[in-house]
Amino acid sequence: MAPENTVPSIRHGVEVGAQAIEIDLHASKDGTLVVIHDPTLERTTDGAGPVDQRTMAELQTFDAGFRFTPDEGKSFPFRGQGVRIPTLNEAMEAIGDLPAILEVKSAAAGRLLAEWLPGQSGYDRIIVGGFNSDEVGPAGAAARWRCAYQTDLLGFVLWGKLGVRRPLPSDLTAAMVPVRKGAVRIVTRGFVRRMHAQGKGVFVWTVNRPDEMRQLLDLGVDGLISDYPAVLRRVVEERWAAGQE
């Protein structure tokens, strides 16, 4: 285990056999794509304030391993170890030849990603996703593969529960969704069946418990996003050994 959205965590995922790596993107004040989940620095670093109000040089002065603890605050093994907020280019270098799922977290990041995507050597392995079209913006059109925005799926899910079939946009590759959104259960056998009937995949986040991993794989989902790739790998290998896909 390692701090989220850092080069050490990406390398850990690669080493334990993850089949794809998901990272989150914001934009720095001076227009660099940076890998961090939150719009502010407090939760994962020793910095404070909005990410987009700091230049890339300023962002890289903060310790991205400062808050990480594997044992509920008993230890902080990555503090002072030189772990920084990576740029997208640094993250992609660590990802290597694996597919990369890029979650766009702001409109500024979406615009920058649309400029960055064309001509990238790993273009065919990049999947772009985000909460809505306002954030992802032109990056969705520039990508070869696009996950459904959560706003795309809300009507699809609710109408589906009423037995009404609604088509999804033809350019979507897959849905990247939580198991539930508030009181609404999203990932059901019927949802997976309807997505597959339209030729779309289903990827579920963030799944960390082995029992939930098994339940979702039994529903036929195409992929799981987890903070514990080694645990997920063991669950998948157990299924292979038992003759399950």
Quote the CA–CA distance of 40 and 85 in Å, as a whole number.
12
Evaluate whether 65 touches 12 at the Cβ level (below 8 Å): no
The two structure tokens encoding residue 186: 């999203």
Quick check: 108 pLDDT over 70?
A: yes
**pLDDT bracket for residue 189 (50, 70, 90):** very high
- Residue 20: the pLDDT is 95
- 52 with 71: CB under 8 angstroms? no
pLDDT (average), residues 214-223: 96
Tell me which long-range contacts 189-193 makes (C-beta under 8 A, separation of at least 24).
Answer: 189/219, 189/220, 190/160, 191/157, 191/160, 192/219, 192/220, 192/221, 193/220
Q: What's the confidence (pLDDT) of residue 160?
A: 72
> 10 to each of 3, 4, 34, 240, how far by Cα in Å?
9, 8, 14, 25
**Domain range for 111:** 1-143
The answer on 152 and 133 residing in a single domain is no
Residues 131 and 152 in one domain: no
Q: Which of 15-29, 73-87, 129-143 has the lowest mean pLDDT?
A: 129-143
234 and 157 within one domain: yes
128 and 171 share a domain? Answer: no
| 3-class secondary structure, 93 | helix
Q: What is the pLDDT at residue 149?
A: 64
State the average pLDDT over residues 41-54.
98
Q: How many domains does the chain have?
A: 2
